Amino acid sequence: MEKDASLNPRRPVSAQNSKRVLVVAYYAPPAGGPAVQRVLQFLQHLTDHGWQPALLTVREGAYPNRDASLLEKMPPSVEGRRTASLDPLALYQRLRRALGMGEGGLPAGSLGEGASSFFGDFFEKAARWVRANLFVPDARVGWWPFAVHAGRQWLREAEAAGRPFDAILSTGAPHSVHLAGRSLHRASGTPWVADLHDPWTDISYYDEFPHTAPARRLDAHFERSVLEEATAVTTVSPSWKGLFERKAPGMRGAVVENGFAEDDFATLGAPDPSGQEHFTIAHVGKLYASRNPEAFWDALARLRRERAVPKLRVELTGTVDAAARRALAARGLDEIVEMRPFVEHTEALRRMARSALLFLAIEPFAQEAGMITSKLYEYLASGRPVLGWGPPAGDAAALLERTGGGRMLARRDTDGFARFLRMHYDAWAAGAALDGADSEAIRPLTRRAQAGRMAALLDGVVAGTSARGKTRLVP
């Protein structure tokens, strides 16, 4: 374990009157992506509510994306320590290079399409089997023992120095961070909140992996033990809170939404899309094969055939699966689509703010009702209207309705997509582009406000544990 100044080059400032929480997170700057934004939400704003966070994370993580600019958003008061990790990704990448398959991560999310050659396809299938059955619950599980060793050492040092940690907060994806939180809780008796960003054995791509029966049982055991042993469990939506409560009756659960950072948008201004040359529809994030919105593409193609949207342009920022690329080409839409790979967070926000319409895709799966991507909150904060492809009765649809931010349409509603697009395009062409969410309606959704909800929960679990007494730290 090392105290790493790269988390924040400035000297940590201790808030002596604050309670202390040890945040255990795999994804932290310089990692990029949505999981990091939620972690930053707590690191930046728990101090506003009487809690001083300290961060335990990995030294060189297997990050799908990197965004070094996020290091500048680390507050000066956050002390951070990084540890080593036993990472199967390094071996996997060496094998890919040896086989002439280029770079690639160990399968971790929605799988999409595999390699084009017979041997490459076999290799990918073997990698999926290994991931599903030898790395349970996820491909980052190799960090678990390192995080526990470093966390126990830090807990002992803090207690010896007279500044003990009052609580532990494990926050992830990946789910294995909660196993580290569980181990630290068991060893110390320190109150522990498990913050689950996603479902566990019900996550959207779970059944795409070739799990054996023993692997499924072990994964379910891990999930149940976390839900039952955590002092409290938080997640991002009401539906997923209900899912976890059904799995662990008596669990103390709460919803802490993802939120948006007000400061991020203050510097972008509010560009009026009416004055731009094109009517731009933007999607920011990954378009997996399971998120390929066929009816939406059909609506765009129909409007183009009817010459109703002559100045239409589509921006797709992030990974676009081959299935979606083929769907666009088959409809002749590739000529109006600009695709960009992963960009830094500030550039992603800039692309949202300058668009005329934002597109959101939620893949179909059993627990789809609870899917509220972190991106949706930033969509709402941009002030641009949102058109969603997903469950019309889900939590994301309710959020759009509550804030006046847009609409969620059923995945096969081609006519509905066409009407919505035509309404917004015509308003834009007339010089009066339609607005998105109401600024007052989204005020409770700031990251500061959501960190306040987490702080209130931490206050409650600490008060409850103090009344019962605390287990001594195991040497």
What is the full DSSP assignment across 172-208? ESSTHHHHHHHHHHHHH---EEEEESS-STT-TTGGG
Radius of gyration of the chain (CA): 23
What's the mean pLDDT in 373-402? Answer: 97
Please check whether residues 223 and 316 belong to one and the same domain: no
Confidence class for position 325, pLDDT limits 50, 70, 90: very high
The answer on pLDDT for 75 being more than 70 is yes
The answer on pLDDT for 269 being more than 80 is no
pLDDT of residue 22: 98
Nearest to 434 by CA among 395, 396, 407: 407
H helices present in 274-373, as ranges: 294-305, 322-330, 345-353
Judge contact between 22 and 426, C-beta under 8 A. no
Of 379 and 127, more confident: 379
Structural domain includes residue 122:
no
Domain span at 18: 2-88+135-259+446-468
Q: How far is CA 443 from CA 127, 260, 373, 389, in A?
A: 45, 10, 18, 25
What's the mean pLDDT in 356-364? Answer: 97
Helix axis angle for 213-229 and 176-188, nearest 10°, is: 50
Token pair 């789910």 is at which residue?
175
Q: Which of 59-68, 121-130, 321-330 has the lowest mean pLDDT?
A: 121-130
Please check whether residues 272 and 219 belong to one and the same domain: no
Please check whether residues 279 and 254 belong to one and the same domain: no
Structural domain includes residue 365:
yes
Please check whether residues 169 and 266 belong to one and the same domain: no
Q: Could you read off the pLDDT of 160-206 as tens digits, one per residue? A: 999 999 999 999 999 999 999 999 999 999 999 999 999 999 999 99
Q: How far is CA 369 from CA 97, 114, 172, 187, 268, in A?
A: 40, 28, 20, 36, 32
pLDDT of residue 92: 64
Residue type, 321: D
Judge contact between 26 and 172, C-beta under 8 A. yes
Handedness of CA 225, 228, 234, 238 (dihedral sign): positive
Strand partners, 406: 386
Q: Which of 6-10, 28-32, 382-386, 446-450 has the lowest mean pLDDT?
A: 6-10
Please check whether residues 374 and 354 belong to one and the same domain: yes
Nearest to 81 by CA among 45, 142, 28, 44: 28
Looking at residue 159, which CATH number applies to its domain? 3.40.50.2000
Judge contact between 309 and 421, C-beta under 8 A. yes
pLDDT of residue 14: 46
Alpha carbons 393 and 371: distance in angstroms, whole number = 11
pLDDT of residue 342: 83
pLDDT of residue 17: 64
Judge contact between 394 and 239, C-beta under 8 A. yes
Q: Provide CB contacts within 8 A for 23, sequence distance 6+.
A: 39, 42, 43, 53, 54, 55, 56, 169, 170, 171
Confidence class for position 215, pLDDT limits 50, 70, 90: very high
Q: Which residues of 72-105 are buried (b: 16+ CB within 10 A; e: fewer)?
A: ebbbebbbbbbbbbebbbeebbeebeeeebeeee
Neighbours of 308 (CB within 10 A): 15
Strands 51-58 and 19-24: parallel
What's the mean pLDDT in 262-280? Answer: 84
Please check whether residues 220 and 341 belong to one and the same domain: no
Please check whether residues 320 and 424 belong to one and the same domain: yes
What's the mean pLDDT in 414-437? Answer: 97
The answer on pLDDT for 108 being more than 70 is no
Confidence class for position 268, pLDDT limits 50, 70, 90: confident
Structural domain includes residue 114:
no
Please check whether residues 277 and 400 belong to one and the same domain: yes
Confidence class for position 120, pLDDT limits 50, 70, 90: low
User: And the tokens for 106?
Assistant: 């160990």
Residue 417 CA, distance from chain mean position: 26
pLDDT of residue 9: 40
Q: Which of 74-88, 235-249, 298-312 has the lowest mean pLDDT?
A: 74-88
Q: Could you read off the pLDDT of 46-72 as tens digits, one per residue? A: 999 999 999 999 998 888 888 898 999
Judge contact between 425 and 279, C-beta under 8 A. yes
pLDDT of residue 474: 44
Structural domain includes residue 150:
yes
Judge contact between 78 and 44, C-beta under 8 A. no
Alpha carbons 217 and 302: distance in angstroms, whole number = 48
Q: Is the peptide bond before 30 cis (omega within 30 degrees of 0)?
A: yes
What's the mean pLDDT in 310-328? Answer: 96
The helix/strand/coil state of 254 is strand
Query: Rounded to the nearest 5°, which phi and psi values hold at 239?
Result: -65, -40
Confidence class for position 81, pLDDT limits 50, 70, 90: very high
Residue 331 CA neighbour count, 13 Å, CB half: 21
Of 88 and 232, more confident: 232
Please check whether residues 389 and 319 belong to one and the same domain: yes
The helix or strand, by DSSP H or E, that contains position 275, with its residue range, turns out to be none
The answer on pLDDT for 363 being more than 60 is yes
Structural domain includes residue 115:
no
Q: How many domains does the chain have?
A: 2
Mean pLDDT estimate for the chain = 89
Token pair 């002596």 is at which residue?
16
Structural domain includes residue 437:
no
Alpha carbons 20 and 23: distance in angstroms, whole number = 10
Structural domain includes residue 315:
yes
What's the mean pLDDT in 64-90? Answer: 89
Please check whether residues 253 and 362 belong to one and the same domain: no
Please check whether residues 205 and 172 belong to one and the same domain: yes
What's the mean pLDDT in 136-163? Answer: 96
Structural domain includes residue 113:
no
Please check whether residues 450 and 305 belong to one and the same domain: no
